[in-house]
Amino acid sequence: MLPNYKTSVKKVDNEEKMSGMAIFTGDIRMDNAHFAIPVRSTVSYGKLLKINVPSLPKGYYFISAKDIVKENVCNIIASDWPVFPDKEVHYKGETIGLIVGPDKKICIDLASMTHADYKELEPVFEMKNSYVHKEFKKGNPEVFKKASKVYSESFETGYQEQVYLEPQGMLIWMDGNKITIKASMQCPFYIKKAVTRTLGCSEDKVRVIQPAVGGAFGGKEHYPSLMAAQLATAIVKIKKPIKMIFDRKEDITFTTKRHPSKTDISAYLDDKNNILGVKIHVGIDGGAYIGCSMVVLARALIAATNAYTFENVDISGDAYCTNKVPSAAFRGFGSPQSIFAIEMFINHLADFLHVNHYELRNKYLVKTGDITSTNGVFRDPIILDKLINRAMEMSDYQRKKKEYSKPNSYRGIGMSYFLHGCGFTGSGESTIINAQLRIKKDKNDIVTFYTSQVDFGQGNRTTLKRIVVDTLGIPEDHVIYGAPDTDETLSTGPTAASRTIIIVGGLAAKAARHLKEIWKDGEEQEIIEPYVGPSYIKWDDDTMQGDAYPGYAWGVNVIEISVDPITYEVTIEGCWSTYDVGHAIDERILIGQADGGLAQAIGWAYLEKEEMENGVFKQRTLSDYVIPTMMDLSKMETEFIDNPFPYGAFGAKGAGELTFAGGAPAFCAALEQAINRKVNKIPATPEFIMELIEHGN
């Protein structure tokens, strides 16, 4: 039976995308555009002594740190990543300069002839030098001393590459004296800020326009800022349009990845095997520059207790500096790493205590009104029990769990519970982002509104427009809503953190309501609506105390697999999911998020292996870094259970990242049953599964 999406409307970008008419960055025709080819560091860590540039033909340039106009900083969140390194390089592949010129082949040849002299320093590849430390406590961890038993384990997760189908690319040109950028991106205002900061120019000198974007998943949140700062430096010097489109290999090898992690968890038990509390340490590998790692770490730590309430909690974590490609945003932003750890841990703890997984998990399940690990409150109704029951029903979980527990069944079923805090951490929405949304109406009563939200596939262009159309109660073709252009829109913040619908959607609905209140037919009207967060949200970033998020979305995944005992290959036999994303505005779009997020998470769990060797990735192409094909995934069944959220548009919460959180632990729980071994590390490749079967834990 094919689905029938009664709640959905036609996606506004369907036709342009299916017909090939959508113009992505690489499709923009600009015949006089120059090419920029990066010259990359060949050492992992070293003093940059001298860059030897071959003699350049007329019209060719080498752009490097010496060309920095104002500040050699790429504005990410931390300010430690230089536009071009000037004194030291910190990872293999770091862009030490750009060869820019009209002929691509000549640029490539010149770049390959450009070499730097380094004084090599001892690189660090292991997680040992912390550059960000965070910690917080709940209750009284002193009671841990009274524990009669302590159960401890460690968990590891690997790198993951986003593999947006469209590689990173950017086009920059001068429009009069204004630098104009079109790029494959998530956050137009991040790019704008990166350019104004390095050039020291005023905001009106930079314009960023979004073309069609072929997927992002976090990978285009920060890296385009670096490309923009570099190309802006170049264009100031050469005053010619420049194009920099990465080949896939370059993209995989040198752009940011999901943070690898190592999580240590200890549960402190009393003599009746009640959990007195847990102590968790999450370490993430940030790579050569902090970038956004402190925020990733914060999210990882806040998610560390996941959907469970423990009375006493001691949580700490470190982001480690290593001489590797910096890690940055990727769907989930640190939380999938720690959710994987706690989900596996609680099952292992149940085994240790000889109790049923399901019972132990449910005993500590979060309930409405519980205190969060940061001493905030889970205020909104939590319907996790409904999600769990429905997922079990859909998947026939109990029967299968029992059936596959027979020895050598090589089949297993696993379940995970998870949450995702929507929006920026803490009071970030009100204190850092300060979104403002502009909506206007012309004399013909045609309404136009603007956001800086990029639709890179999630469908937000459709849903945000629909929120305004439905709020105003006017025909769809009376509302105009296009892709962001920083000359037209105010910043409504980055397209990140599952904030688009819950925050910007809420803001759009509010703006539309206000417009409706003052509506006068045939008159030009304009409203600038500022974001005002719920007043109860109080957060202290230094102590990590308070309400971490304005709202939480919840989910349950069940995954069934089989393992071939001869080849250790895994087959996904079925996937069932239930979600509470508040009110599901457009089911078809949400199913897209659900299936896509889960597929990506399953890839992370067992297929996608990205190994580092001497500071470079071993898998650098799509034939070596394998993502799931159609044959690697099974049918997926998903249901949304309605639980309207008072502060989101039409009761909606975030959904984009939530759907990534539970795939790996559900998969690994199934794998553990199939092979009767504990799994503490992903990706669980056939090589690793063989090791587990052969040598045990």
Closer residue to other proteins (CB): 175 or 564 = 564
- Apex 548 CA angle, 190 and 340, nearest 5: 90
> What is the CB-side half-sphere exposure of residue 464 using CA atoms within 13 A?
33
Closer residue to other proteins (CB): 23 or 355 = 23
Closer residue to other proteins (CB): 316 or 638 = 638
CB of 105 vs other proteins, minimal distance in Å: 5
CB of 330 vs other proteins, minimal distance in Å: 12
Which residue has tokens 């599952």? 498
Closer residue to other proteins (CB): 544 or 598 = 598
CB of 346 vs other proteins, minimal distance in Å: 26
**Other beta carbons less than 10 A from residue 521's beta carbon:** 8
Are 367 and 419 in contact by the 8 Å Cβ rule? The answer is: no
Are 472 and 459 in contact by the 8 Å Cβ rule? The answer is: no
CB of 55 vs other proteins, minimal distance in Å: 23
Residue type, 16: E
CB of 253 vs other proteins, minimal distance in Å: 12
Closer residue to other proteins (CB): 30 or 446 = 30
CB of 535 vs other proteins, minimal distance in Å: 36
CB of 569 vs other proteins, minimal distance in Å: 7
CA–CA distance from 572 to each of 560, 606, 669, 676 (Å)?
6, 11, 13, 17
CB of 604 vs other proteins, minimal distance in Å: 12
Closer residue to other proteins (CB): 4 or 444 = 4
3-state secondary structure of 396: coil
For the chain, state the CA radius of gyration: 25
CB of 631 vs other proteins, minimal distance in Å: 4
Residue from 122, 157, 133, 163 nearest 322 by CA: 122
Evaluate the omega torsion of the peptide bond into residue 683 and state whether it is cis, within 30 degrees of 0. Answer: yes
- Show Cβ contacts of residue 665 under 8 Å, excluding neighbours closer than 6 positions: 339, 340, 343, 344, 414, 416, 418, 557
Closer residue to other proteins (CB): 386 or 681 = 681
Closer residue to other proteins (CB): 107 or 341 = 107
CB of 9 vs other proteins, minimal distance in Å: 11
What are residue 156's DSSP bridge partners? 262, 681
Are 191 and 228 in contact by the 8 Å Cβ rule? The answer is: yes
Closer residue to other proteins (CB): 238 or 591 = 591
Are 680 and 696 in contact by the 8 Å Cβ rule? The answer is: no
Q: CA-to-CA distance for 338 and 268, rounded, in angstroms?
A: 18
Q: Name the percent of the chain in helix, strand, coil, to the closest 5.
A: 30, 25, 40
Closer residue to other proteins (CB): 421 or 654 = 654
**Other beta carbons less than 10 A from residue 626's beta carbon:** 15
Closer residue to other proteins (CB): 553 or 602 = 602
Closer residue to other proteins (CB): 25 or 643 = 25
Phi, psi of 560 (to 5 degrees): -115, 135
Closer residue to other proteins (CB): 492 or 619 = 619
CB of 14 vs other proteins, minimal distance in Å: 5
**Other beta carbons less than 10 A from residue 689's beta carbon:** 23
Which residue has tokens 């690990």? 373
Residue from 310, 376, 317 nearest 345 by CA: 310
**Strands 178-183 and 206-209, how do they pair?**
parallel
- Show Cβ contacts of residue 168 under 8 Å, excluding neighbours closer than 6 positions: 184, 219, 220, 223, 224, 227, 245, 246, 251, 255
Closer residue to other proteins (CB): 21 or 446 = 21
Q: Helical H runs in 267-383?
A: 293-302, 335-352, 357-363
CB of 495 vs other proteins, minimal distance in Å: 13
Closer residue to other proteins (CB): 338 or 460 = 460
CB of 206 vs other proteins, minimal distance in Å: 26
Which residue has tokens 């039976």? 1
- Show Cβ contacts of residue 338 under 8 Å, excluding neighbours closer than 6 positions: 261, 263, 280, 282, 300, 301, 303, 304, 306
Are 299 and 654 in contact by the 8 Å Cβ rule? The answer is: no
Tokens representing 314 are 């001691």
CB of 597 vs other proteins, minimal distance in Å: 8
3-state secondary structure of 475: coil
CB of 21 vs other proteins, minimal distance in Å: 7
Closer residue to other proteins (CB): 553 or 607 = 607
Are 330 and 222 in contact by the 8 Å Cβ rule? The answer is: no
Q: Helical H runs in 423-492?
A: 428, 460-472
CB of 630 vs other proteins, minimal distance in Å: 4
- Show Cβ contacts of residue 291 under 8 Å, excluding neighbours closer than 6 positions: 76, 77, 78, 80, 81, 222, 256, 326, 327, 328
